[in-house]
Structure 1
């Protein structure tokens, strides 16, 4: 190679290396930049972000006093160690009270610990709604978008995503239209989310009431939302929930049940008399249920939902707006969250769950930054009584006798 060619090639090599280096630096800078959900590339999923360094740190004397009073409630609510599950109360993300007792599996005496995943039943709806809301925030779908835009065979043309979230679609519960008539479904076969959609599209399943006319809590709504998550993300519901919520928040003991793989490996549920409840044909449906989690993982989830990065403020306001007041009253339902709205202006946000023998309660006291969670795999309505603990933190007008 002569000197003239060397003089041309060497600067070109240097220029190429410099441009390549600059591109890499640009990519690194982009990766480090905190993008809003709406600014994300279309091939990147929005993700929940942990809420860290909450303040102020609670005083030791304050924690001790709250702990004493919550412990008194615990002993009265679940006498003789009758909970068989986990119970947690935290403020500003700091755990004030935590208790685990009983057995995940009574046959082999596997104890329930802080790391034992328990089926959270309809509290799953809060998580499904959260994934949908993150996708709305990222402009991958719209609240008032028709479900028929995602599934042409969907037979109810006026139903929107918002109506699925707030239970105003008018659809019938899938458990009711699949449990009696074999021409619709043979209960010897395990039902899937896609099966529900196909049945509604082909078996002339009528509406329970006209779309948009009133609130009617219905699991079918959230089974359809799970299918929409799959359609938009091009992933299974299980993987999408992990990518959007579980992994980013470090929810290491939370997962969507893989029915065929894990149905015999997860904690079973029991009747109040400790008789095990078996698996039935509805146990493969997800979105409305079938998430397993722990109180500690749900605490991480709750704090992330209360962070400023969760949603655009205009969208967040719609989440906590009541959509079910056909008649004047205090009980209401937002976008994936139950609520009680008292005339004194105090609002109570929560969601309960019940599936087989599993009972669950998730409470978020937004004004006081308090999280209350109870999960059990042995049927006991006392799980829902944990709302009474809220009176220890704010002026919630519950009539209580067992919280000192």
Structure 2
């Protein structure tokens, strides 16, 4: 009898462990972030020191490109090129605030638009690494009212959910009063209650959609038990020393944030979509984004296995060079060479983030005055590796 009782107890304990594991895996509760796991400051090991001769040669070529791209000092923003964590070239031109005639500085935070997605994705991968979340987890196990049962964290990250863009479905009559500021939670509630169907079956194709990252921000909030703003500060900004970076708070920051302009310096006013975060609404500087890039590529900060998964293309149903990973765009050439980047645009803000891990090169361009020349900085990649781009004078 004692043997039978012991066996039963062991069976009950085993079953409890299994059920507890399933509960944790399928429906995690909000958890506190342990400082030693996520919040600690990160020391990034610098690469080999660049020689003065090397820096001078690269600086000359970059300066030539800069002057050709932004003739007559027409740039309005910040620009930086670095290798091995060392700044080779940087420049800040134009006005942070045109009306006040305040000059652009290295510490001026600018709206980085969709480059915010790279940072949101990195925070998600940090939570995956800390086992607070997993990539194949169904979103409806975290956000109970989420209406699409097949959508996972991975398909949010790689834009394969089939969800529709909130900027479009909130324009439809009876869906949302555009005199009211839209929130991330409002997007979720609308999708759950207004019959917003999927554009296509989940994970059957790629379609870039800001809604994916607005939902990821809600996931971060649910898992951490913090606001997205506070979570990003604890997981990314503070550990990497990004002192001039913050998540825009519509009510608190709308009067003090660096303004956004059209090409003629007419002010772009904010609208009902300006409170949404995760897909946009991070303000940063080129120097802070260099710190972020050094951290993102460091094994001391992000699990190299997860970074490798982020750099896999998930959008190539049709053969081509352009692709999308987990929060990063890429170009994959037949030569085997890969180029990783993300651009951004919101109102008059344009941004370009280029990360070249093979050469350990970072290229950042930010502007708060509408300027598509921001995106041409990708051409500088050919100064550092076998990238088939053309410089401005070719």
TM-score by length of 2: 0.90
Aligned 1:44-193 pairs, distance under 5 A: 44=34, 46-47=38-39, 50-181=42-173, 183-193=174-184
> Is the Cα contact below 8 Å between 1:48 and 1:310 reproduced in 2?
no
The answer on 1:194 being equivalent to 2:200 is no
- Contact preservation (8 Å) 2:42, 2:301: no
| CA 1:278–1:304: 2 relative to 1, 3 Å | same
Partner of 2:15: none
Q: Could you tell me how far 1:308 is from its partner in structure 2?
A: 1.4
Instruction: Write the deviation string for residues 113-165 of structure 1: whole angstroms up to 9, x where unpaired.
Output: 00000000000000000000000000001100000001121111100000000
Partner Cα distance (1:154, 1:278) in 2:
32
Per-residue CA deviation, residues 227-285 of structure 1 (Å, 9 max, x unaligned), is 00000000000000000010111111000011101101011111112111001000000
Aligned length: 362
Q: Is the 8 A contact 2:41 2:238 kept in 1?
A: no
Two-structure CA RMSD over aligned residues (Å): 1.3
- Report what 1:362 is aligned to: 353
* Structure 1: distance between partners of 2:52 and 2:41: 28
Q: Which runs of 5+ in 2 are unaligned?
A: 1-30
Partner of 1:18: none
The Cα shift of 1:92 comes to 0.4
Counterpart of 1:14? none
Matched, 1:312 2:298: no
Match of 1:292 in 2: 283
Deviation at 1:54, TM superposition (A): 1.3
The CA deviation at 1:180 is: 3.2
- 3-state SS of the aligned residue for 1:318? helix
Whether 1:262 and 2:230 are equivalent positions in the alignment is no
Partner of 2:5: none
Question: Does 2:334 align with 1:346?
Answer: no
Task: Provide the residue aligned with 1:219 in structure 2.
Answer: 210
User: Under a length normalisation based on structure 1, what TM-score does the superposition of the two structures give?
Assistant: 0.88
Over alpha carbons, which structure has the higher Rg?
1
Q: CA deviation at 1:56?
A: 1.2
Q: Is it true that 1:233 corresponds to 2:224 in the alignment?
A: yes
| Cα drift, residue 302 of structure 1 | 0.2
Query: Retained in 2: the 8 A contact 1:350–1:362?
Result: yes
